[in-house]
A and B are shown apart, each in its own frame.
Chain A
Amino acid sequence: MNYAAVKRHPLLRSLLISLFSAILFLPFKDLKSSAILFAVLFICLSAISSVKNLQALPSLPKIKLAHPRFLRSASMPAGIIIFLAFPFFLKDYYLDVLIMSGIYMLLALGLNIIVGFTGLLNLGFAAFYAIGAYTYAIVNTKLGMDFWVAVPLSAGITALSGIALAIPALRLRGDYLAIVTLGFGEIVRLVLNNWDNLTNGPNGITGIARPSIFGTAIGKLNMYYYLVFIFVVIAAIIIRRVECSRIGRAWISIKENEIAASSIGINTTKYKLYAFAFGTFWAGIAGILFSSKMQFVSPESFTFMESVLILSMIIVGGLGNTYGAIAGAFILALLPEMLREVQSYRMLILGIALVLLMIFRPQGILGGFKRCTF
């Protein structure tokens, strides 16, 4: 039985998906609850697919949104207002989660430039996050440097380290590049773990200062929330502008077909370097926000799993889509917290959700790259 046959039969597909999930669930619980999961999933999935088929019938008119254009243009300001309003009614715990999701949004936006636009698979992105975080941690605790002075410094050093990795690594392509970036991620983590004089090794650096505005430190969570929020909005606007510029077009053409890109006169090496520098720049910003919020950094926060998580965010949101990166980071940062009720199953449910998403919507929630309208 080939894959195409599975795709054609919605019932068969539902059966296989439910079976797959049930088997995954089996080691955690007994056979009975696995069977219940199987039955529930199978019924739900077949119901969903049959409803889909019904909609295709001509007798049932599709529900059309009255003003799609209005909805689209209104969704952005509406979203911003909702996000601005969160600190007024959310508990500190949720605010904390939202701040972390904001930091992940910056990371996802940065990685999306490298992987989503330019098509260079990077499996060591947490390394740049770490470099940004540690730069601020070190210059703040050792030299007493202020947050706002350290922002350009951290981002700059991170971007430079991105270029330093890219110059030798860009001779490689595809899988080989991915392996090199993975290696780089591990090297950075190990250096941080072992360079006791500078990084205090596995104990990490404590006592990092919070940022301050006009002499008053941002201590409260809601202030910090707005700070991160502003950074995310600025990043999204800048990245979207660059995406729609000549540089963005060059990136997309490199992803689409590198030989064709060089045959129309695009300096592919230069633009790949730009992508690495620009993408890692935002990881640097995310890093400084992270270390100043936690007031503590240790190598444990920057493992390979972190790189994978950031990569999953942009895949879930839609590879190459700036808004998708934000949505993906929001969902994947929040979902584990929302699933806290079910404790030990939450990672399993997250895994199943990812598999289902890739089956039903492989292009991600918001789909592939979003065209720029000029």
Chain B
Amino acid sequence: MLNLSSIQTSYGHIKALKGIDIEVEKDEIICLIGSNGAGKTTTLLTISGILKPDSGDITFEGESLKNMPPHTVVNKGICQVPEGRRIFPRLTVLENLEMGAYSLNFKSQTSNFKNNIEKVFSLFPVLKERTKQMGGTLSGGEQQMLAIGRALMANPKLLLLDEPSLGLAPIMVSKIFKTIKEINEEGVTILLVEQNAKAALRLSNRGYVLENEVIKLSGTGENLLHNEDVKKAYLGE
């Protein structure tokens, strides 16, 4: 479905990715783990078109995304939930969700919109109770739910999640991970970037370990969980 081949991306003169190959199949949950500065977020930003790769190619369903601006990438069915829950603080929960459907065209908007919003509310019932509340007044976990819900409003085929567990209470983390699984079961492919390696690998079909701007390891979630190097470096065992 999504294919990255020898992607190199840099910030000015500094190389942030030195040739990354990632493959995501339909209906999979793929996770990308690695330490700070390894290039995880850069990878996602390159896929969603916010950063332009220097070389290499990205294809999505056979189409090259390499020179596409971010808003066109969204129209192709790739939605990103950016790091740090970037919701619209002074818009209400409902308005935030409405904005998520911005990329849908007018004709499909009304019917799709109602379906999508029902789907989001069934995934995150707490958002339904707070439709009129300002986004900025939600708790951290609720804001993360809103950010994910907003991305789902655009009917994504592939959802890019950047550190959904960042700064959340443990109980909220497990709740979010459970919902990610549910979203996946409804037919949305997921590419997940996480610090919380153990939880992410348990959830995923396959995983990639990024280290110093390159892919160091890849394999099924189960295999990586039991890999000695991964255990030592990322699982703290």
Contact = CB atoms under 8 A, between A and B. Distances in A.
- A and B from one complex: yes
A256 B154 CA distance: 19
A262 B70 contact: yes
Interface stretch (B19-27, B98-106, B190-198): B98-106
Contacts of B79: 263-264
A302 to B, nearest CB: 33
B69 A264 contact: no
A142 to B, nearest CB: 43
A263 B88 contact: no
Interface in B76-108: 79-82, 86-91, 98-100, 102-103
Q: Tell me the dominant secondary structure on chain B's binding face.
A: mixed
Contact of A265 (B88, B91, B98, B102): B102
B151 interface: yes
A267 B153 CA distance: 17
A146 B227 CA distance: 81
Q: Tell me the dominant secondary structure on chain A's binding face.
A: helix
Interface string A246-261: 1001101100110110
B70 A263 contact: yes
B99 A263 contact: no
A263 B82 contact: yes
B99 A253 contact: yes
B74 interface: yes
A368 interface: yes
Interface string A354-374: 000000000000001100000
A266 B102 CA distance: 7
B150 interface: yes
B50 interface: yes
Contact of A252 (B71, B75, B91, B154): B91
Contacts of B99: 249, 253, 264
A267 B70 CA distance: 7
B61 to A, nearest CB: 17
Contacts of A260: 82, 86-88, 147, 150
Given A263-B70, A263-B82, A265-B154, A250 B90 contact: no
B48 interface: yes
A224 B98 CA distance: 44
B91 A267 contact: no
Interface string A261-293: 011111110000000000000000000000000
A188 B68 CA distance: 36
Given A263-B80, A263-B151, A257 B103 contact: no
Contacts of B89: 256-257
Contacts of B102: 246, 249-250, 253, 264-266
A256 B89 CA distance: 7
Contacts of B75: 265
A256 B150 CA distance: 15
A267 B86 contact: no
Contacts of A249: 98-99, 102
28 contacts: A246-B102, A252-B88, A253-B88, A253-B99, A256-B89, A256-B90, A257-B87, A259-B82, A259-B86, A260-B82, A260-B87, A260-B88, A260-B150, A262-B50, A262-B71, A263-B48, A263-B74, A263-B151, A264-B74, A264-B79, A264-B100, A264-B102, A264-B150, A265-B74, A265-B102, A266-B103, A267-B71, A369-B90
Interface of B: 48, 50, 69-71, 74-75, 79-82, 86-91, 98-100, 102-103, 147, 150-151, 153-154
Interface of A: 246, 249-250, 252-253, 256-257, 259-260, 262-268, 368-369
Given A256-B88, A266-B102, 14 more contacts: A249-B98, A249-B99, A250-B102, A257-B87, A259-B50, A260-B86, A260-B147, A263-B82, A264-B79, A264-B100, A264-B154, A265-B70, A265-B103, A267-B69
Closest 7 CB pairs of A and B: A265-B103, A265-B74, A260-B86, A256-B88, A267-B71, A262-B70, A265-B71
